[in-house]
């Protein structure tokens, strides 16, 4: 006896539409799917951990939400990035109102000795049984074959090693990374997927999630060597059932066709392109590429748009993608995603827009804006500075010898190129030749990181290159730090960083911290999952010049608003800036933040302006916002 009544749910018509529209191309309407497990959890008003650990609660919530909102079919995706990592020993942080998350502040694998201790996946460990039981119950209730969602090898490796360590080891010790990847592919993921397919033998496709393998988190070369290679290996171990379809970063490469070829090697069955990349490169371009290969196309609408609106823009985007997808069939609209922060009215507005289009009411017909020049900066990580946006560098009269100038030039190049050992050697040699500390710091280390930041904002390098440069800079800085202390060298300012409560992701925050240190600031990093009281108390103790808050999840963005409100209520006089993948300038304005950093270089620019203006930081924020 179940505790829920499943009798009211019938999605046969939706699944028929999905089959005819996406798989066979003989339907007369474009079907749609959605990711919405966080929204479902909040919509049915259930404790988050109960939702993500009790199969009946999860299946009922998914079906109830789909029924009430008018979805074609329910969403059977849970927190896909956590299950396998938890099962092999990673720490899972649980919340009452947020999606659980892997806490890798103490990584599971730091060396080959750690790797040797790991065992093959225990199919009874963690929430592996939850995933299997959800799938079984879903099939019993709907009569439809379930779909397992899994964490792809590279993203799983970032959980067990940390992202920063993974990227640096790709450079320093690729053989070690390949050993980690082989273990995760052969002894964790393949047994998991094969057991699922044994229980559900009619399943032909098992989609995986692999956000970390997206650009600009890693480079195309890394995608091919460390992500694609192991996805293809996993496919060979699972009778080609395993696929990965959710890489993004299409707009970060000049040649989308090359990237899409990579995507089709990871998922030969269809091509999936989603916002913001889809809007930047153009839905027509993606559709034409798929049609030329007789493949289905999945066009994805932006999470930020679905969550923040306005309703008219949601309708326009949905209608544009439906109109582009429709000719020739084999098409699917993907709403990615409805989170716990998405207003119910916006979810209903999205479905109303689809219904309106299907009924022939198409007020935006022919008005396509994706792929236009105006769309190319849509939700961009970093924006190039406007002309005149930088103060001219003061003219300096060098007192250095030609040899010393050459040393600093070499040090600059080593940091830009991410060569740590030569950078450290160059700092030592510069000190031995009597180069002043401020010259080494300002003219080489800081100048190099400013160059790196500019290159990232312009899209000529990606996150791995920034991490390598930051490590090279930090290597030099470690040599200088005791000398700077002895000479009472004053940092340019003190910045306190934190990832907000409920969020254990630290990639962006760590990168900002490295860039700030490279720019001459003292950084105190409180870590992840920081609550309001901790943030307040630490700020009172440290008295920072600027506070930076980070969030990677839409579900944790409200914690930023709560911290900002608490600081204002307590009349604490610190400027607070925010950033993270789902954060936008509009959100920053809405919650009363004093600035928004679209990327690490942008955050450094903002901090610099805030600190340089002293108490007039409101004016500094306004100047940075308009690129003055």
Pair (372, 473) in one structural domain: no
CA 151 to CA 346: how far, in whole Å? 29
Q: Which of 447, 474, 489 is the last residue of a domain?
A: 489
Q: Model pTM?
A: 0.90
Pairing status of strand 32-34 against strand 331-335:
parallel
Pair (98, 184) in one structural domain: yes
Q: Are 195 and 123 in contact (CB under 8 A)?
A: yes
Pair (250, 290) in one structural domain: no
What's the 3-state SS for 492-506? Answer: CCEEEEEEECCCCCC
Pair (520, 610) in one structural domain: yes
Q: Are 482 and 461 in contact (CB under 8 A)?
A: no
CATH number at residue 404: 1.10.1240.10
Helices 344-358, 311-325: inter-axial angle, 10-degree rounding: 40
Contacting residues for 136 by C-beta, under 8 A, at least 6 apart: 55, 146, 199
**Residue owning tokens 């940390």:** 162
Asked if the structure places residue 4 within a domain, the reply is no
CATH number at residue 519: 3.40.50.280
For position 394, what pLDDT does the model report?
43
Asked if the structure places residue 53 within a domain, the reply is no
HSE-up of 145 (CA within 13 Å, CB side)?
Answer: 13
Asked if the structure places residue 63 within a domain, the reply is no
Positions of the chain with pLDDT lower than 70, given as ranges: 1, 380-398, 614-628
What's the 3-state SS for 140-152? Answer: HHHCCCCCCCEEC
For position 26, what pLDDT does the model report?
73
Supply the range of the domain harboring residue 147.
76-269
Asked if residue 11 has a cis previous peptide bond (ω within 30° of 0), the answer is no
SS3 208: strand
For position 378, what pLDDT does the model report?
81
Pair (257, 284) in one structural domain: no
Asked if the structure places residue 67 within a domain, the reply is no
Q: Which of 264, 162, 251 minimizes the C-alpha distance to 462?
A: 251
Pair (611, 517) in one structural domain: yes
Asked if the structure places residue 58 within a domain, the reply is no
For position 396, what pLDDT does the model report?
52
**Residue owning tokens 């919530």:** 61
Number of folded domains that form the chain? 4
Q: Which of 444, 459, 489 is the last residue of a domain?
A: 489
Pair (153, 177) in one structural domain: yes
Burial of 10: CB neighbours in 10 Å, binned 0-12, 13-18, 19+: exposed
CA-to-CA separations, 469 to 412, 479, 518, 525, in angstroms, rounded: 10, 16, 10, 20
Pair (430, 505) in one structural domain: no
φ, ψ (nearest 5 deg) of residue 432: -65, -30
φ, ψ (nearest 5 deg) of residue 151: -90, 120
Question: What are the DSSP E strand ranges found in 223-355?
Answer: 242-244, 271-274, 297-301, 331-335
Contacts 24+ apart (CB under 8 A), 229-232: 229/181, 230/153, 230/154, 230/181, 230/182, 230/184, 230/185, 231/152, 231/153, 231/265, 231/266, 232/265, 232/266
Contacting residues for 284 by C-beta, under 8 A, at least 6 apart: 324, 368, 370, 371
Pair (328, 475) in one structural domain: no
**Residue owning tokens 């903002």:** 606
Contacting residues for 387 by C-beta, under 8 A, at least 6 apart: none
Pair (210, 256) in one structural domain: yes
Asked if the structure places residue 222 within a domain, the reply is yes
Q: Are 196 and 135 in contact (CB under 8 A)?
A: yes
**Residue owning tokens 């320093």:** 172
CA 370 to CA 552: how far, in whole Å? 25
Asked if the structure places residue 517 within a domain, the reply is yes
At 171, list the tokens: 């450079």
For position 490, what pLDDT does the model report?
85
Burial of 542: CB neighbours in 10 Å, binned 0-12, 13-18, 19+: middle
In DSSP terms, 272 is beta-bridged to: 298
At 100, list the tokens: 């659980």
CA 259 to CA 216: how far, in whole Å? 12
Contacting residues for 230 by C-beta, under 8 A, at least 6 apart: 153, 154, 181, 182, 184, 185
Residue 105: alpha-carbon gap to chain centroid? 17
Asked if the structure places residue 387 within a domain, the reply is no
| DSSP codes, 229-241 | HHHHHHHHHTTT-
HSE-up of 29 (CA within 13 Å, CB side)?
Answer: 16
φ, ψ (nearest 5 deg) of residue 233: -65, -45
Pair (325, 407) in one structural domain: no
Q: What is the largest CA-CA distance in the chain?
A: 85
Q: Which of 226, 247, 269 is the last residue of a domain?
A: 269
Sign of CA dihedral 470, 223, 163, 508: positive
Pair (102, 235) in one structural domain: yes
At 146, list the tokens: 């379930």
At 180, list the tokens: 């980690």
CA 58 to CA 137: how far, in whole Å? 10
Q: Are 494 and 544 in contact (CB under 8 A)?
A: yes
Sign of CA dihedral 101, 106, 112, 114: negative
Contacting residues for 373 by C-beta, under 8 A, at least 6 apart: none
φ, ψ (nearest 5 deg) of residue 176: -65, -45
* pLDDT 10s digits, 436-487: 998 999 999 999 999 998 998 888 999 999 999 999 999 999 999 899 888 8
Question: What are the DSSP E strand ranges found in 154-296?
Answer: 206-209, 242-244, 271-274
Q: Are 170 and 465 in contact (CB under 8 A)?
A: no
């Amino acid at each position: 006896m179940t505790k829920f009544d499943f009798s009211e749910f019938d999605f046969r018509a939706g699944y028929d539409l999905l089959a005819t529209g996406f798989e066979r191309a003989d339907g007369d309407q474009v079907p749609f799917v959605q990711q919405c497990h966080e929204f479902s959890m909040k919509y049915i008003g259930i404790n988050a951990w109960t939702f993500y650990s009790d199969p009946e609660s999860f299946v009922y919530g998914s079906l109830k939400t789909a029924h009430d909102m008018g979805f074609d079919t329910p969403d059977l995706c849970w927190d896909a990035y956590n299950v396998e990592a938890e099962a092999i020993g990673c720490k899972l942080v649980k919340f009452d109102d947020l999606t659980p998350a892997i806490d890798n502040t103490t990584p599971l694998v730091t060396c080959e000795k750690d790797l040797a201790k790991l065992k093959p996946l225990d199919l009874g460990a963690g929430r592996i049984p939850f995933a299997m039981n959800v799938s079984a119950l879903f099939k019993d209730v709907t009569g439809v074959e379930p779909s397992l969602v899994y964490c792809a090898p590279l993203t799983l490796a970032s959980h067990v090693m940390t992202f920063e360590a993974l990227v640096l080891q790709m450079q320093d010790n690729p053989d070690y990374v390949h050993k980690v990847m082989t273990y995760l592919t052969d002894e964790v993921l393949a047994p998991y997927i094969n057991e699922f397919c044994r229980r559900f033998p009619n399943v032909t496709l098992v989609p995986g999630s692999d956000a970390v393998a997206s650009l600009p988190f890693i480079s195309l070369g890394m995608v091919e060597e460390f992500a694609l290679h192991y996805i293809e290996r996993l496919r060979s171990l699972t009778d080609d059932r395993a696929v990965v379809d959710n890489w993004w970063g299409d707009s970060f490469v000049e040649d989308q066709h090359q990237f899409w070829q990579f995507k089709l090697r990871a998922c030969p069955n269809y091509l999936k392109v989603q916002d913001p990349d889809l809007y930047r490169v153009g839905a027509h371009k993606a559709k034409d590429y798929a049609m030329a290969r007789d493949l289905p196309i999945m066009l994805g609408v932006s999470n930020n748009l679905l969550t923040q609106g306005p309703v008219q823009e949601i309708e326009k985007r949905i209608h544009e993608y439906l109109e582009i997808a429709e000719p020739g069939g084999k098409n699917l609209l993907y709403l990615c995603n409805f989170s716990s922060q998405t207003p119910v009215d916006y979810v209903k507005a999205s479905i109303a827009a689809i219904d309106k289009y299907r009924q022939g009411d198409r007020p935006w017909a022919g008005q396509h804006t994706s792929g236009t020049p105006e769309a190319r900066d849509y939700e961009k990580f970093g924006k190039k500075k406007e002309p005149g946006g930088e103060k001219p560098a003061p003219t300096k009269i060098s007192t250095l010898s030609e040899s010393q100038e050459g040393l600093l030039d070499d040090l600059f190049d080593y940091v830009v190129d991410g060569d740590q050992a030569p950078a450290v050697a160059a700092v030592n040699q510069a000190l031995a030749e009597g180069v002043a500390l401020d010259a080494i710091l300002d003219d080489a280390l800081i100048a190099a990181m400013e160059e790196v930041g500019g290159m990232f904002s312009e899209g000529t390098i990606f996150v791995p290159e920034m991490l390598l440069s930051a490590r090279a800079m930090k290597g030099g800085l470690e040599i200088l730090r005791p000398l700077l202390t002895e000479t009472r060298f004053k940092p340019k300012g003190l910045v306190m960083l934190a990832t907000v409560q409920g969020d254990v992701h630290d990639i962006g925050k760590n990168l900002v911290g490295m860039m700030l240190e490279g720019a001459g600031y003292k950084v105190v990093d409180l870590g992840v999952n920081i609550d309001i009281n901790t943030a307040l108390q630490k700020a009172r103790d440290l008295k920072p010049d600027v506070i930076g808050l980070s969030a990677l999840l839409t579900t944790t963005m409200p914690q930023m608003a709560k911290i900002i409100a608490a600081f204002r209520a307590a009349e604490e006089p610190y400027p607070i800036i925010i950033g993270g993948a789902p954060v936008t300038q509009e959100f920053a304005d809405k919650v009363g933040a004093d600035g928004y950093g679209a990327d690490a270089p942008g955050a450094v620019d903002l901090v610099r302006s805030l600190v340089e203006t002293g108490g007039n930081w409101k004016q500094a924020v306004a100047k940075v916002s308009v690129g003055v």
